[in-house]
Amino acid sequence: MADFLGLMKQAAQLQTKMQELQAELDHIEVEGVAGGGMVTVKLSAKGELKGTTIDDSLLKPEEKEILEDLLIAAHAEARRKAEAVTQEKMQGLTGGLQLPPGMKLF
């Protein structure tokens, strides 16, 4: 029974740490860049769009398709960085414990 109580205490501590991690991820920003710096996308580590920067030269009607592609590329890069930051933070929280594929704690 003592093992069960210890396990419950650890679970409660993990839940508290997860809540703290969630709050921390809201404040971490990552940046994706495309087109040699012509387009920049900023995301929170949780994936929330925080801002974009677009070079004025792309704001021409004939550059519309290029701009759309660069926005997608910059967003994809930022998303990969956000996922990497989240994974790194999770490994620190779980002590390197690998979760089964597809299992997400948040």
Phi-psi region of 102 (alpha: psi -120 to 50; beta: other; left: phi over 0): left
Query: In angstroms, how far is CA 10 from the centroid of its own chain?
Result: 26
Give φ, ψ of 53 to 5 degrees: -130, 130
According to CATH, what is the number of the domain 2-92? 3.30.1310.10
**pLDDT over 70 for what percent of the chain?**
86
Question: Where are the chain's structural domains?
Answer: 2-92
Q: What is the mean pLDDT of residues 26-47?
A: 94
Share of the chain above pLDDT 90, in %: 52
Take residue 79 and report the two structure tokens written for it. 């998303």
d(CA 74, CA 103) in angstroms, rounded, equals: 27
Q: Kindly report whether the global pTM for this prediction surpasses the value 0.95.
A: no
Average of per-residue pLDDT across 52-59: 95
Sequence letter at residue 33: V
> Do the beta carbons of residue 96 and residue 52 sit within 8 Å?
no
